[in-house]
Amino acid sequence: MRSFKLDWLILPLLGILLVLGGWQAVSGRKAARKDAEGKVVSEERVGLIPALPSVVETWQASRIYILEPFAKRGEMDQGIARFTWYSLLLVAKGYGLALLIGTPIGFLLGLSKVFTKTFDPIIQILRPVSPLAWLPLGLVLFLDAGKEAGTLGALFTIAICSMWPTVLNTAVGVRAIPQDYLNVARVLKLSRTKTLFKVLIPATLPYMFTGFRLSLGIAWLVIVAAEMLTGRPGVGGFLWQEYNALVYEHIILSIITIGLVGFILDRLMSLIEARFKSI
């Protein structure tokens, strides 16, 4: 299709409108059943998917969370920005842990064939395990921590699920370092430390950042599962609580928030990544 002026803005808006329209079309609405005199006997929901709140209902139920984003009315009743902030804090910790553990493992994999042969199979086995499987184990591991068990278990889950892209991309990056650069280090007889910091790490950075970006995506994905199961305040915890409270509008509010935040995080990481790729 031919591109036109402002298509970058108009087409995405069109897409959003289409989806909103579709959502509105299939969602349910309230209908009152009346008796012969026109008195309301009972209210029920009708429509293609009666339980699905409509766009308007979602907005009406969510506006207080959006318009007072930092309000704190109770442990599980806070503005959406506040919930997001809690979630981000937890993700940041788990994600930091993932990078701290994942990057050195990636370097070892990239540098040593023996290390690769030894640990690659186990990595390939652990990698596809779902966060929902890790979390119970995390809770068990930190059972003695009492009140903090939930937090520690969540951190453990985020770290172990999100570190793999960092591990694998770093390893690929180290293996892809041009022989020329390594020859420079060898010819100049750089020490191991100097080779690491002056050659290996700078040469691997673009790959590392690809890994970092993918890891952040996964860390954010895991947060919902972690908060749901531990009942921590945060976007995911809020989502689960509102499901139990039958406020389905807030499930949708949470989903949209999670998606937007994930999108923004990915964009930010892409910007950083592009900076390192341009060297």
Partner 1 sequence: MSDYCQLSGLTKTYPTPRGPAVIVKDFNLNIRKGEFISLIGHSGCGKSTVLSMLAGLSEPSGGGIILAGKELAGPGPDRGVVFQSPCLLPWMTAFENVMLGVDQVFFTASREERAQIATYYLTVVGLGDSLHKRPSELSQGMRQRVGIARAFALKPKMLLLDEPFGMLDSLTRYELQQVLIELWRRNRITALMVTHDVDEALFLSDRIVCMTDGPAAEVGEVIEVDFPRPRERKAVMEHPDYYKLREELIQFLEVRAHRKGTAAPPPPSASASPPAVRRRAPADIEAPMNPA
Q: Which residues contact partner 1 (rule: CB under 8 A)?
A: 180-181, 183-184, 186-190, 198-199, 202-203, 205, 279
Question: Which residue's CB is nearer to partner 1, number 205 or number 226?
Answer: 205
CB of 7 to partner 1, least distance (A): 32
Show the tokens assigned to 177.
Answer: 């370092």
Show the tokens assigned to 269.
Answer: 């990481």
Question: Which residue's CB is nearer to partner 1, number 93 or number 198?
Answer: 198
Question: Which residue's CB is nearer to partner 1, number 204 or number 241?
Answer: 204
CB of 169 to partner 1, least distance (A): 18
In one-letter notation, the amino acid at residue 95 is Y
CB of 277 to partner 1, least distance (A): 11
Question: Which residue's CB is nearer to partner 1, number 167 or number 203?
Answer: 203
Show the tokens assigned to 92.
Answer: 């940041």
168 vs 94, 99, 155, CA distance in Å? 18, 12, 21
Show the tokens assigned to 20.
Answer: 């909103």
Residue 241 CA to residue 234 CA, distance in Å, equals 10
CB 239 within 8 A of CB 254: yes
Count CA atoms closer than 13 A to 77's CA, side-chain side. Answer: 6
CB of 276 to partner 1, least distance (A): 9
CB of 102 to partner 1, least distance (A): 22
Question: Which residue's CB is nearer to partner 1, number 1 or number 187?
Answer: 187
Pairing mode, strands 72-74 and 77-78: antiparallel
